[in-house]
Amino acid sequence: EDNNKQPPLPSPLRFSKFFQPNMRILITGGAGFIGSHLVDRLMENEKNEVIVADNYFTGSKDNIKHWIGHPRFELIRHDVTETLLVEVDRIYHLACPASPIYYKYNPVKTIKTNVIGTLNMLGLAKRVGARILLTSTSEVYGDPLVHPQPETYWGNVNPNGVRSCYDEGKRVAETLMFDYHRQHGIEIRVARIFNTYGPRMNIDDGRVVSNFIAQAIRGESLTVQSPGSQTRSFCYVSDLVDGLIRLMEGSDTGPINLGNPGEFTVLELAETVKELIDPDVEIKTVDNTPDDPKQRKPDITKAKEVLGWEPKFALRDGLPLMEEDFRQRLGVPKSK
């Protein structure tokens, strides 16, 4: 028996012998809604190696299960409030619950995720010389007094309300990004994302588009939170992912608004979903939550100029794609 004979290497290692990735990319929150679509897009490029770090609070392995076992993909169960040691060239830092129900569920954890989590990812970027992108939010504008919102607007935010763990958390995260940039020369990119929707949103995650679509498919009344005249602008997820990648690979630090400028009242959204999915469902008015912003619409002049980016999907194009995904997951095929 020849003890020196080596068994063949397992396939991922054998693969790596020939494979030299050009770009090693970390995506925190990559098992979530936007993160998993970003993973899909980045994995399409065979020069990329993608590492996802996620604690599965609002995300799920299901969203990325099609990549598990792929030699260019790695999944780490990790909470960004803890130190992370990996060697990468790019960090897309998305980890943070995005739905009000989830970010208010454990607000102290939400602010730790935003502050300590972002600090850790900046420390990592500093150690390995990576470029880091933060997914900030239109919530940094609070209940805006300027409409539509340009990046130069400083916002109207309640510093100690029930949404503060999220909106003030993201504002501190932006501060950290720019201080690491100014003080340590870290390459940063800051995206301010406006309401985004699409397949793989958590069915019961409480956000307005997912709520209305799930309710319409289940034949339940659509819950419009009063007054219903508040507005939002809804961006389809593939448009958004395109904007994030352009921002990361471009030369502007941001902040840059990424969103669809089409503005709808919540009642108009309910009526559109009703018309598209089931004209028989009812629309009912329910209580709203505190500090709900009354209007929101991105000024995307800067994204157009600097990134050559603008959304392609109108709301009426994107909703049916999301309906299809929700019907599949809810097991309710379209009957009419």
The footprint of ligand NAD on residues 81-140 (CB under 6 A) is 81, 94-98, 113, 117, 135, 137
- Token reading at 11: 């396939």
Q: By CB under 6 A, which span of 75-83, 146-154, 155-163, 314-322 interacts with ligand NAD?
A: 75-83
Quickly count: other Cβ atoms within 10 Å of residue 310's Cβ. 14
Number of residues in contact with ligand NAD under rule CB under 6 A = 28
Here's the x/- map for ligand NAD, 163-202, by CB under 6 A: it reads as ------------------------------x-xx------
Q: By CB under 6 A, which span of 58-66, 223-231, 239-247, 301-309 interacts with ligand UDP?
A: 223-231
The residue nearest ligand UDP at its CB is 123
Residues whose CB is less than 8 angstroms from the CB of residue 278 and which lie 6 or more positions away in sequence, other chains included: 216, 217, 219
Q: Give yes or no: 197 in active site.
A: no
Here's the x/- map for ligand UDP, 92-121, by CB under 6 A: it reads as --------x------------------xx-
Instruction: Please state, in angstroms and rounded to a whole number, the distance separating the CA atoms of residues 301 and 112.
Output: 33
Given 166, 180, 197, 236, which residue is catalytic?
166
Q: By CB under 6 A, which span of 77-85, 88-96, 242-250, 299-307 interacts with ligand UDP?
A: 77-85
The footprint of ligand NAD on residues 195-234 (CB under 6 A) is 195-196
Strand intervals (E) in 61-175: 73-77, 90-93, 131-137
Per partner kind, with CB cut-offs from 5 to 8 A, the member of ligand UDP, ligand NAD, none near residue 95 is: ligand NAD
199 touches 240 (CB < 8 A): no
The CA radius of gyration of the chain, in Å to the nearest whole number, is: 21
Give the residue, chosen from 26, 165, 224, 237, that forms a contact with ligand UDP under the rule CB under 6 A. 224
Instruction: Please state, in angstroms and rounded to a whole number, the distance separating the CA atoms of residues 86 and 258.
Output: 28
Percent helix, strand and coil across the chain, each rounded to 5?
Answer: 40, 20, 40
Looking from the CA of 200 toward its CB, the CA atoms found within 13 Å total 23
Binding of ligand UDP by 266 (CB under 6 A): yes
235 touches 196 (CB < 8 A): yes
247 touches 322 (CB < 8 A): no
CB of 137 to ligand NAD, least distance (A): 4
Residues in the chain: 336
Q: Is the peptide bond before 227 cis (omega within 30 degrees of 0)?
A: yes
The footprint of ligand UDP on residues 273-332 (CB under 6 A) is 288, 292
Residues whose CB is less than 8 angstroms from the CB of residue 164 and which lie 6 or more positions away in sequence, other chains included: 107, 157, 158
Q: By CB under 6 A, which span of 14-22, 39-47, 79-87, 118-126 interacts with ligand NAD?
A: 79-87
Instruction: Please state, in angstroms and rounded to a whole number, the distance separating the CA atoms of residues 28 and 174.
Output: 16
Q: Where on the chain is the footprint of ligand UDP (CB under 6 A)?
A: 83-85, 100, 119-120, 123-124, 126-127, 195, 207-208, 211, 223-225, 230, 232, 266, 288, 292
Which residue numbers are catalytic?
Answer: 166
Q: Where on the chain is the footprint of ligand NAD (CB under 6 A)?
A: 28-29, 31-35, 54-59, 79-81, 94-98, 113, 117, 135, 137, 193, 195-196
